[in-house]
Amino acid sequence: MESVKIIDVSPRDGLQNEPKSVSLEQKLQLVNQLLAAGIHKVEVTSFVHPVKVPQMADANELLQALSDKENLEAIALIPNLKGYERAREHRLSEVNWVSAATETFNEKNIGMTIEDNMSQFLKVLEEAKKDGIKTCFSVAVSFGCPYEGDVDEENVLQIVRRIKEAGVDRIGIADTIGIATPDHVESLMKKVLAIAGDTPVAIHLHDTRGLGLTNAYAAYKAGVRVFETSASGIGGCPFAPGAAGNLATEDLVYLFERMNISTGVDFQKLLGAADYAASLSTKNPLGRIRHVEKQREEGNVR
């Protein structure tokens, strides 16, 4: 049976832009529910400046509280060298570094040019290899930018070539504003995979225009087997105006399991985690399957 790997990003990407405070205990409960559902690779937090993203100010405490979870492959997002220096003090399976495919988004999101960002990442990569921590390099706005509009595929592919040559452990391609269409996804991901070779490639999709699932299937057809999603579809990029939440983990798991593609996830337990994730968010969750399953349990639909 074919299989895919799901990485849930709801504790970080899902909560980072929440206006109401989410407690350490609530974040721990969300991670624990994801683990109970069989999702072991989770992006739990980020080491960004708390002034910029106050919701992630408890990164140290959260990772300390999760340090005894042997079945957790914890990922932390890092924006710069200082962030890596903080992250390296914890038990992490991976750090995630983000650069944009456009200069304007990179400047507004990170405050650096693409080249300066790349130079810092290469220094982090060198340190991470010494520390035994894996790295993921994620390319934001790969399919479209809120400031520059259409993004030339070659912009993305040039970055992928450089990080592949540098020895990154995983590559992420993100539709940060949910502008992608299935044909574009399939075209770009085939080219990315050809460059990546044996380096795993993940796709990170937002469901802004309701095309998240169709884009995920297009990525699967192109050869992608790693997907970054968020329980109940909560979240969205605080630096991308109008970007709605992520593709819902439970929707993608439902799709693949119905297609006899194994995710290794307990669907019923995942629905519980999705309900809990939704309760932490002030936004209307984008996940659809949760609502259908509740109607089915009540006998309203088959």
Dihedral angle computed from the Cα positions of residues 280, 286, 288 and 294, in that order, rounded to the nearest 10 degrees: 20
CA 6/CA 169 separation, integer angstroms: 17
Catalytic-labelled residue, pool 231, 237, 278, 286: 237
Residue 89: exposure state from Cβ atoms within 10 A (0-12, 13-18, ≥19): exposed
Picking from 248, 239, 258, the residue whose alpha carbon sits closest to that of residue 210 is 248
b (16+ CB within 10 A) / e for 49-69: eeeebebbebbeebbebbeeb
Q: Where are the beta strands (DSSP E) in 193-297?
A: 201-205, 226-229
Task: Please give the distance of CA 261 from its chain centroid, rounded to a whole number.
Answer: 21
Whether residue 145 lies in the annotated active site: no
CA 264/CA 49 separation, integer angstroms: 35
Three-state SS sequence of 45-89: EECCCCCCCHHHCCHHHHHHHCCCCCCCEEEEEECCHHHHHHHCC
Catalytic residues, by residue number, are 237
